[in-house]
A and B are shown apart, each in its own frame.
Chain A
């Protein structure tokens, strides 16, 4: 018996639904799909930037959820686990579409002279071109490709924070890292994306010497 009317009307928690799915309750699975399909699609779309691929990645993520829910540790936060499942599905699909190897982030960090000054100051401000919607979309597409090239430790942090705009504590929990480690990776990943965007915006002839 429910203790009171409020509890009887309350939405089931994620953990309630997880336990329902584990016990074969189809309704619990349906509710989980209703609750999270938009967020999973959103992150998949960001990685793949194609509606059809994002939909298929979303389907695969929920199939994995359905099949692997038995491996979920109920002492952990469900969505952190599922977010990682979905992110892996999206990146796995992206790799199949465009195989590649992760870049070394150190190759794309800003360079400094021996006295600590910026080695090659940017002569033009490429960010003004972002005011043009078409150019901004092209650059954003490139930024997405650059992120996909990153090692997962950096890729996932910048994706969750800057694209998905997840809370710092949720990201740290999902990735099982400390807040200082998260901030350090985020900053380095942003420096990397900024550097690569600067280089493609100026063209190879004007690219900073690396």
Chain B
């Protein structure tokens, strides 16, 4: 059993924990720290909210005539140097 510091939890271990590749014993130590540490809980919450928010940067729709506009654009310029 290891007593991690917040620095270790956040800088060294959090990425591995979130992608699910952390070994079971380390995972248990990590979760034990989180349970005992409200600042790390808030940090983890905002870390996850950040990742979730980034997915909203995708466009909601693609212009319906985009393929045609791309083809027209390229054909008009393809033979220019």
Instruction: List residues of A whose CB falls within 8 A of some B CB.
Output: 29-30, 33-34, 37-38, 41-42, 45-46, 49, 51, 54-55, 58-59, 62-63, 66-67, 109-110, 112, 115-118, 121-122, 125-127, 130, 136-137, 139-140, 143-144, 147, 158, 162-165, 183-184, 186-187, 190-191, 193-194, 197-198
Contacts and interface: CB of A to CB of B under 8 A. Distances in A.
A165 B58 CA distance: 10
Nearest to B42: A122
29 contacts: A33-B67, A33-B70, A33-B71, A38-B62, A46-B58, A58-B66, A59-B70, A63-B77, A63-B78, A66-B78, A67-B78, A112-B10, A115-B5, A116-B5, A116-B8, A118-B10, A121-B38, A121-B39, A122-B39, A122-B42, A125-B42, A130-B52, A140-B54, A140-B56, A162-B55, A186-B15, A187-B15, A193-B54, A197-B53
A158 B55 CA distance: 11
A105 B71 CA distance: 39
A125 to B, nearest CB: 6
Interface of B: 5-8, 10-11, 14-16, 19, 38-40, 42-43, 45-47, 49-59, 62-63, 66-67, 69-71, 73-74, 77-78
Nearest to A44: B59
A110 B7 CA distance: 9
Given A117-B39, A125-B42, A190-B15, 8 more contacts: A34-B67, A41-B66, A42-B62, A54-B59, A59-B74, A117-B5, A126-B46, A143-B50
A41 B78 contact: no
Could you tell me the dominant secondary structure of chain B's interface residues? helix
Contacts of B58: 42, 45-46, 163-164
A136 B56 contact: yes
Contacts of A46: 57-59
Nearest to A192: B50
A127 B59 CA distance: 22
Contacts of B47: 190-191, 194
Contacts of B16: 183
A54 B62 CA distance: 10
A41 to B, nearest CB: 5
A130 B45 contact: no
Nearest to A58: B70
A130 B46 CA distance: 10
Contact of B14 (A121, A122, A164, A187): A187
B42 to A, nearest CB: 5
A136 B53 contact: yes
A183 B77 contact: no
A63 to B, nearest CB: 5
Given A41-B63, A45-B59, A63-B78, A183 B70 contact: no
